[in-house]
Amino acid sequence: MTVATEALPRWDLSVVYPGIDSPEFAAGFEETFRQVDDLVRLFDELTSDDQPPAPLSDATVRAVETLIDRFNIVYEAIETLSSYIYGHVSTDSRDDLAQARLSEFEQRALPLSKLRPRATAWLGSLDVDALLERSSVARDHEFMLRYSQESARHLMSPVEESLAAELHLSGGSAWEKLHGNLTSQILVPIELDGETRQLPMSEVRNLAYNEDRDVRRRAYEAELAAWEAAALPIAASLNGIKGEANVLNARRNWPDPLDLAVFQNRIDRPILDAMLAAAGDAFPDFRRYLRAKASLFGTDQLAWYDLFAPIGAGNRDWPYGDATDFIVSQFGTFSDRMRDLAARAFRDQWIDAEPRSGKVDGAFCMYLRGDESRILANYTPSYSGVSTLAHELGHAYHTFAQADRTILQADTPSTLAETASIFCETIILEAALEHATPSEEVAIIENSLQEATQTVVDITSRFLFEQRLFTARQHRELSVDELNELMLDAQRETYGDGLDAALLHPYMWAVKGHYYSVNHAFYNFPYMFGLLFGLGLYARYRQDPESFKTGYDELLSSTGLADAATLAARFGIDLRSSAFWQESFDVVRRQIDRFLELTSNGRSLPGGDA
């Protein structure tokens, strides 16, 4: 694969404010927090923390309606301001002004953070059934109200919740910020083309896709050395975050951190258990794929640095312009609405695609305002880069589909947030395969299997690691070596004989930013859910395209209005049945079978045909 020479775009945030140092930003910042302060005063006027709930009066109904309206207004303003500031920090963590504004934002948002549990407790104390009978506004927000009822059962006292919110800024939030800033600024020394260069970690990790195995090996070794050098403060961050989460979970009467994660993701343990059991059943198939890929390198087991190695002569370059044209065209095969959204995102500079120092690694999509999103990527000119863009544009389409919902109605759990992204990614996969030569087919299927392996096998390893970390952290902090060993144990358990046990990645706990949040533990399994749910939906689309299209956008629009099982039932899916999960894994198994068929007897070797 050649290195991309075309200029890659940076996103445009100026549609909100001209700059983070502009008078317009300063005025908008102050106006947003004036609205926050007004909301807190209004809540104090309309409710009482220390009085038992009164019978549902007309005044209480009006208070609920007024507060729902004002919360929606304030949350929308806060989301836009937060995204604008983080849009600067995430693309340049060395921007001291943006970092200062982020810190100020967090401090000024503290009254809203302290208000949330009070509002939840108050709503949870009301007779919701009676409220729904008397208020159309309440009926429009029924799921939020019932969710608040359950959440209220897991709150500490108002004083404790207020203190926890204040301490979070110098506790979990500070640890999370340390991880993001530190890891985005790591420069890794690596020898390339006969000279030693200092590259951002994101660029070094992108070398995992390089055609040259020696380059991949040196990048892997350089990456591990860099993580080792930075491991001590990162381990302190992880210990601090999981320690705080353990204390708060116990105080809020969550028996297990996983119980909270399941509740936040709007599923239940039987659904999670059915999915994880199906994943365990599929591990032998993933190992078949990994061993087959290893054989193409002349080894029995795959090295970690070969996980993302390109296979076959069909591993064509995908310049960014080609990727954008392909995505827009193929999204159009589903609907004009999806095509137009993608074209708008590219045209109006919603995407920051250029890898560079100070920019966070990976990819994400964030809400900006109205029906607009912004997408961060670290684009590589490969099919993987195209697939990632399609995935993140799926998130943007999901936001677009919810544009007619209020912020409270659009609150979507991570499990369902992956629905549109996996669906859009699959549209691109199917189209790429349809237009592929046999040699190109190998590369495309292999990329899909890479992603599936990460989403199922690697995410299960991360799930096991985090589960065991939470348990161990109840007793004491863990050292860097202990964290490494926990991660290696989880990788050995999931990858099995598919990977060389001497060439794993002990610092994956430092790599993945998803571990570094007090409020969103177990941020890993929702991705597996999203993959399998998205594949299941796509299978139903292929069975009856026109019928499916009539309900798909409404499903996306409704992901904040019901739990996952209820929404899945609209398409005849029973999430508690192992049959559904097995059907989704069957899609992956067929890809594995096809990969083995195409690569048998050395018919397709790394970097070219035999």
What is the DSSP code string of 364-389?
Answer: EEEEEETTEEEEE----SSHHHHHHH
Q: Give dist(CA 270, CA 254) in Å, integer.
A: 17
C-alpha distance from residue 383 to each of 202, 215, 315 (Å): 18, 20, 8
For residues 512 and 234, give the distance between their C-alpha atoms in angstroms, rounded to a whole number. Answer: 11
| 208: its two tokens | 């995992």
Contact 360, 409 (CB under 8 A): no
Containing 196, the helix (H) or strand (E) segment is strand 195-200
* CA dist list (Å): 327 to 387, 428, 518, 542, 591: 9, 7, 36, 19, 22
Q: pLDDT value at position 45?
A: 94
Q: Cβ contacts of residue 295 below 8 Å, gap of 6+?
A: 599
Output the pLDDT for position 608. 43
- Rounded distance between C-alpha atoms, residue 98 and residue 102, angstroms: 6
| Distance (Å, whole) CA 574 – CA 580 | 7
Supply the pLDDT for residue 149: 93
Place of tokens 């059907």: 583
Using DSSP, state whether 478 is helix, strand or coil: coil
**How far is Cα 610 from Cα 601, in angstroms, rounded to an integer?**
9
The whole-number pLDDT of residue 4 equals 44
**Max CA pair span of the chain:** 79
Question: Measured in whole angstroms, how far is the alpha carbon of residue 453 from the centre of its chain?
Answer: 16
Question: What is the reported pLDDT for 97?
Answer: 97
CB neighbour class for 66 (10 Å; exposed up to 12, middle 13-18, buried from 19): middle
Distance CA 448, CA 384 (A): 8
Q: What are phi and psi of 22, to 5 degrees?
A: -85, 155
Residue whose C-alpha is closest to residue 212's, from 191, 189, 186: 191
Contacts for 449 with CB less than 8 Å, ≥ 6 apart: 289, 588, 591, 592, 595
Q: For residue 604, which phi and psi values (nearest 5 degrees)?
A: -140, 110
3-state secondary structure of 56: coil
pLDDT, residue 115, reads 95
* Mean residue pLDDT across the chain: 92
Provide DSSP, 88-118.
HHTT-TT-HHHHHHHHHHHHHTHHHHHHHHH
449: nearest Cα among 274, 310, 281, 601 = 310
Q: Which residues of the chain have pLDDT under 70?
A: 1-5, 49-54, 312-315, 601-610
**Cα–Cα–Cα angle for 46, 51, 56, nearest 5°?**
60
Residue-level pLDDT at 1 = 40
| 309 three-state secondary structure | coil
